[in-house]
């Protein structure tokens, strides 16, 4: 028992000696070398500019354009900055929304930011099933598969359009290396949903999705009969349609453009 007391006293003595030693070196807190700049409006970092040139503010990337559009639909003031570097984002992809005082929203968190800007929903609205969810899923599978295949798997489109737009700002040979990795990742993503990448099958499924959107929209301005209040589904479908129609058409690969042109009300 006495030995345990001696050990405890010895430890306390060591701690006290160490603390006295540290007291000769007071802690100093230096000013931060970098401070997040104060901003008036959120900044959306995107792939850009658009397909039509440097003056076009709409992103050439479907997902970036989707959130650009939805922010505008919700009358949220924001600025756009073309960065063309997905690694600035914690998620490794664009878009990225930066707000004051330094909050960051990746693409999967942007809906949360928008929701916080809107009025709270009442219990009736919150409990009502959301009819747009199945249509968003349809777009993000069938149309997404077709768009990715069209851009990254059709040889003429990849060489003449995609490589330049997504990798043209990198120096050689870095552009080739990074685009090889990006293309491999896209094909891997497609293979998780389509074990066999058959162009005819992918475009047929996209055609079925476009037909479903056309039937649902009918002659309305927005989906589900809304006259003045566009929803996320409107931003999603618009982003796919606009992106597809904006891609420069190569002489041999026009199928996806032609599919969209079949449905005049979209």
Same-domain pairing of 175 and 199: yes
Same-domain pairing of 94 and 194: no
Q: Give the range of the structural domain holding residue 182, as residue numbers without chain letter.
A: 130-261
Of 66, 84, 117, which closes a domain?
117
pLDDT at 116: 87
Does the residue 31 lie in any domain? no
Beta-carbon neighbour count of residue 222 at 10 Å? 17
In 3D space, the residue among 80, 56, 54 whose CA is nearest the CA of residue 67 turns out to be: 80
Q: In degrees rounded to 5, what are phi and psi of residue 73?
A: -55, -35
Tokens of 247: 């891609």
Tokens of 15: 């701690």
pLDDT at 12: 67
Average pLDDT over residues 16-42: 71
CATH of the domain at 221: 1.20.1050
* Digit-coded pLDDT (tens) for 192-242: 999 999 999 999 999 999 999 999 998 889 998 766 789 999 999 999 999
The span from the CA of 95 to the CA of 43, in Å, is 10
Same-domain pairing of 166 and 61: no
CATH of the domain at 103: 3.40.30.10
Strands of 43-46's sheet, edge to edge? Answer: 79-82, 43-46, 96-99, 103-106
Please give the model's pTM, rounded to 2 decimal places.
Answer: 0.82
């Amino acid at each position: 028992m006495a030995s345990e007391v001696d050990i405890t006293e010895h430890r306390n003595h060591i701690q006290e000696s160490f603390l006295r030693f540290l007291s000769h070196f007071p802690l100093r807190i230096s000013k931060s070398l970098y401070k997040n700049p104060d901003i008036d409006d959120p900044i959306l970092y995107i792939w850009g500019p658009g397909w039509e040139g440097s003056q076009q503010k709409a992103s050439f990337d479907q997902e970036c354009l989707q959130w650009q559009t939805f922010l505008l639909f919700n009358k949220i003031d924001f600025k756009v900055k073309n960065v063309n570097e997905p690694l600035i984002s914690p998620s490794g992809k664009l878009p990225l929304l930066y707000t004051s005082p330094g909050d960051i929203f990746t693409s999967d968190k942007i809906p949360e930011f928008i929701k916080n800007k809107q009025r709270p929903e009442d219990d009736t609205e919150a409990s009502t099933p959301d009819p747009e969810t199945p249509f968003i899923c349809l777009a993000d599978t069938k149309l997404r598969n077709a768009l990715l295949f069209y851009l990254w798997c059709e040889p003429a489109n990849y060489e003449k359009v995609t490589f330049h737009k997504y990798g043209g700002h990198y120096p050689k040979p870095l552009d080739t290396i990074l685009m090889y990795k990006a293309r491999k990742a896209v094909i891997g993503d497609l293979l998780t949903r389509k074990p066999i990448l058959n162009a005819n099958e992918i475009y047929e499924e996209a055609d079925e999705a476009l037909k479903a959107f056309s039937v649902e929209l009918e002659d309305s301005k927005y989906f589900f009969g809304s006259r003045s209040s566009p929803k996320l589904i409107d931003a999603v479908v618009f982003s796919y349609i606009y992106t597809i129609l904006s891609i420069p058409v190569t002489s041999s690969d026009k199928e996806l453009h032609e599919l969209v042109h079949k449905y005049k009300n979209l």
